[in-house]
């Protein structure tokens, strides 16, 4: 797995991707080296910085995801969640932990590595990964996890923490998005009607119907506008 993580991570350069410095082996254990992130992971950061701009952090995560999904070859992260996003000294979000990531070849049917199957954390996983244990993670499952990460950061808890694992599993498999968190502080942080629409589009049952990372970036860039253009919400992967 270490070799696969290095292969996926090495060479990625973007302000919202945690830089890879190198690796070192000590007593037969290989360690991957990256810059120290004093602010820790994104979930810990928003909990300890209540006045942080949550929308800005989410937009930065979307930028990092867009970079991965438009990279040549495409990089599927495979385990996106707030604990795998780190915050720099400047307060910028950087996606890290590429242990479940893979690079896709130009022929999307070919994948570097052999362990590119359903893994990661249940509450962030797309329904297609839960239905088929041999299902491969994809840019579509990354987008589903991004929607869950939005909920996670605004609620400052695991996605839909009010639901048991069993209830959330059933609703996910049925393509039903749980009720929107309606606590006053959650809305104040930015989980309003328009942000919830983004979550809804990331959570579509059919993978190809979900927002692309590029469309998510565009929507978040226009977030302060009176109303984002409807065609952005309808953007499909082929149009990204």
What is the domain partition of the chain in residue ranges? 2-222
User: Which residues in 104-161 belong to E strands, given as ranges?
Assistant: none
Model pLDDT, residue 51? 92
161: number of Cβ within 10 Å: 14
Q: Comparing 34-43, 143-152, 197-206, which segment has the lowest mean pLDDT?
A: 34-43
**DSSP label at residue 47:** H
- Residue whose pair of structure tokens reads 């000590």 in the numeric block: 26
Query: Looking at the domain that runs over 2-222, which CATH code has it been given?
Result: 1.10.510.10
pLDDT beyond 80 at 232 = no
**DSSP label at residue 237:** G
Model pLDDT, residue 112? 37
Q: Which helix (H) or strand (E) holds 31?
A: strand 29-33
Q: Is 97 a catalytic residue?
A: yes
Q: How far apart are the first and last CA of the chain?
A: 31
| Residue among 51, 97, 107, 142 flagged as catalytic | 97
Alpha carbon distance 73, 67 (integer Å): 11
More confident residue, 137 or 70: 70
**Angle between helix 139-155 and helix 54-70 axes, rounded to 10 deg:** 170
């Amino acid at each position: 797995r270490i070799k696969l993580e290095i292969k996926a991570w090495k060479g990625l350069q973007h302000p919202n991707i945690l830089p890879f410095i190198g690796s070192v082996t000590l007593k037969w254990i290989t360690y991957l080296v990256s810059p120290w992130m004093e602010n820790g992971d994104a979930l810990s950061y928003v909990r300890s910085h209540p006045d942080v701009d949550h929308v800005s952090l989410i937009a930065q995560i979307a930028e990092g995801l867009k970079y991965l999904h438009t990279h040549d070859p495409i990089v599927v992260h495979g385990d996106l969640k707030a604990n795998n996003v780190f915050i720099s000294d400047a307060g910028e979000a950087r996606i890290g932990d590429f242990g479940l990531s893979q690079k896709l070849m130009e022929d999307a049917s070919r994948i570097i590595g052999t362990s590119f199957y359903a893994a990661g954390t249940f509450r962030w996983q797309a329904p297609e990964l839960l239905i088929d244990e041999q299902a491969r993670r994809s840019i579509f499952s990354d987008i589903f996890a991004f929607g869950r990460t939005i909920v996670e950061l605004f609620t400052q808890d695991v996605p839909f923490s009010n639901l048991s694992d069993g209830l959330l599993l059933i609703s996910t498999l049925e393509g039903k998005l749980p009720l929107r968190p309606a606590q006053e502080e959650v809305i104040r942080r930015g989980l309003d009607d328009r942000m919830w629409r983004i979550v809804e589009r990331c959570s579509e049952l059919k993978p190809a119907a979900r927002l692309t990372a590029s469309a998510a970036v565009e929507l978040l860039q226009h977030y302060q506008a009176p109303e984002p253009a409807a065609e952005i919400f309808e953007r499909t992967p082929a149009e990204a």
